[in-house]
Amino acid sequence: MPLFLLPLLAGAGGFGLGWWSGSNYGWIMWLLIAVFAYFGFKKMGVI
């Protein structure tokens, strides 16, 4: 599995958990996690 898919999978999992728990802010946390993971991987040169 390509490493650049990890933030997407983690984000989808976080979004699912947020929706399941009824949190209105779940999608915001998902977005922040995905963005930070993307820039983190980009800075490390993974993607």
Q: What is the pLDDT of residue 2?
A: 65
Residue ranges per structural domain of the chain: 3-44
Cα–Cα distances in angstroms (integers) from residue 21 to residues 14, 18, 39, in the given order: 11, 5, 27
Q: What is the pLDDT of residue 22?
A: 65
- The total number of residues written for the chain in this structure: 47
Mean pLDDT computed over 4-33: 70
Give the chain's mean pLDDT: 73
CB atoms within 10 A of CB 30: 20
Give pLDDT tens digits for 28-45.
Answer: 777 788 888 888 888 887
Residue 9 in 3-state DSSP?
A: helix
What does the block give as tokens for 8? 């997407």
pLDDT confidence band for 19 (50 / 70 / 90): low
pLDDT confidence band for 20 (50 / 70 / 90): low
